[in-house]
Chains A and B, each alone.
Chain A
């Protein structure tokens, strides 16, 4: 019968993987939505300035 050596760890849980931050796809994805948003918001801000003139 096979027996585990006394020094071997018993059932230690596998640590969960830590997220690897891949910056390029993360920044790319945010740029796709932030660039048009910034353009749209800047248009509205420019128009809103008329209220204070």
Chain B
């Protein structure tokens, strides 16, 4: 029973730490040109998945449990991809 509670606590704590960061990117009008954003974030070990939405101009970065990326790293990746960061939203 103790083990079960411990596992349940661990699982719940991991899910609390799993993060999605939304980045609003300006100038993102061409999906082929924006492939660089996806490529740069996918290379990072802490990134679980990435989704680019041209309609909302948002890049959704889902991180591995208990991981984080600084605003500076996010901004550098976006700028190196040729775009500007309008806003970083952390959930």
Q: Are A and B a genuine interacting pair, yes or no? A: no
